[in-house]
Amino acid sequence: MARQCAICGKKPVAGRSIVRRGIPKKKGGIGLHTTGITPRRFIPNLQHVRVKLPSGQITHLRVCTRCLKAGKVMKA
């Protein structure tokens, strides 16, 4: 389970990086033109933390920062 949050299951998502050139029509130009589309990945911000489980056991988990901030994990 590499690059996946142990709590919410968040994992990398595929996307595209779009390069545009020109000035928008709103600003007086002739419009934006797409000059390149490159595939990319949006990778979650995972942290390797020591977690105290409800059973009282302490273990290491990969957890995203959103779950840490929301308090879904009890740090050991």
Q: Given pLDDT bands bounded at 50, 70 and 90, which one contains residue 1?
A: low
Predicted pLDDT at 2: 84
Over residues 22-62, the pLDDT tens digits come to 999 999 999 999 999 999 999 999 999 999 988 999 999 99
Complete domains list, the chain, with CATH: 13-70 (2.30.170)
Measured between alpha carbons, how far is 50 from 69 in angstroms, rounded to an integer? Answer: 15
Distance between alpha carbon 11 and the CA centroid of its chain, in Å?
A: 7
CA distances from 1 to 29, 52, 63, 73 (A): 48, 20, 12, 18
Identity of the amino acid at 60: H
68, two tokens: 């840490």
Measured between alpha carbons, how far is 6 from 64 in angstroms, rounded to an integer? Answer: 8
